[in-house]
Amino acid sequence: MTFTAHGKLIISGEHAAVYGQPALCSGISVGVSVGIGESGELDNFLKNIQDVFSKQTGVAIGTYHRFVIDSLLPVGSGLGSSAAVAYACFQALADMYDINLNSEEYVHLVDESEKYMHGNPSGIDTYAVVHGGLFSFRRTLTSPEIKPIITSLRLQALLIQSGKPKETTKDMIAVVAQNIEKTPSLKQNIENIGVISTTITENFSRNTFDYALIKQNQKLLMQLGVSSPEADTIVHLVEKEGGVAKITGAGGNTGGSGMILTFHEDEAKLVELQKQFSEHSYIITFPME
- The footprint of ligand MEV (CB under 6 A) covers 10, 14-15, 17-18, 118, 121-122, 124-125, 169, 173, 249-250
Number of helical (H) and strand (E) elements in the chain, helices listed first: 9, 9
Yes or no: say if 37 and 89 are a contact pair by the CB < 8 Å rule: no
- Min. distance of Cβ 286 from ligand MEV in angstroms? 16
φ and ψ at residue 241, rounded to 5 degrees: -85, 5
Q: Which is nearer to ligand MEV, 243 or 249 (CB)?
A: 249
Q: Which is nearer to ligand MEV, 93 or 224 (CB)?
A: 224
- Min. distance of Cβ 17 from ligand MEV in angstroms? 4
Measured between alpha carbons, how far is 181 from 203 in angstroms, rounded to an integer? 33
Q: Which is nearer to ligand MEV, 18 or 88 (CB)?
A: 18
- Min. distance of Cβ 247 from ligand MEV in angstroms? 10
| Residue 176, helix vs strand vs coil | helix
- Min. distance of Cβ 120 from ligand MEV in angstroms? 7
Using the CB atoms, write b or e for 5-19: b if 16+ within 10 Å. bbbbbbbbbbbbbbb
Give the residue from 262, 196, 259, 190 showing the smallest Cα distance to 224: 190
Q: Which is nearer to ligand MEV, 169 or 281 (CB)?
A: 169
- Min. distance of Cβ 289 from ligand MEV in angstroms? 23
Q: Which is nearer to ligand MEV, 106 or 273 (CB)?
A: 106
- Min. distance of Cβ 257 from ligand MEV in angstroms? 11
Max distance between CA atoms of the chain, in angstroms, equals 57
- As to burial, measured by CB atoms within 10 angstroms (0-12 exposed, 13-18 middle, 19+ buried), residue 182 is exposed
Measured between alpha carbons, how far is 161 from 247 in angstroms, rounded to an integer? 10
Q: Which is nearer to ligand MEV, 71 or 122 (CB)?
A: 122
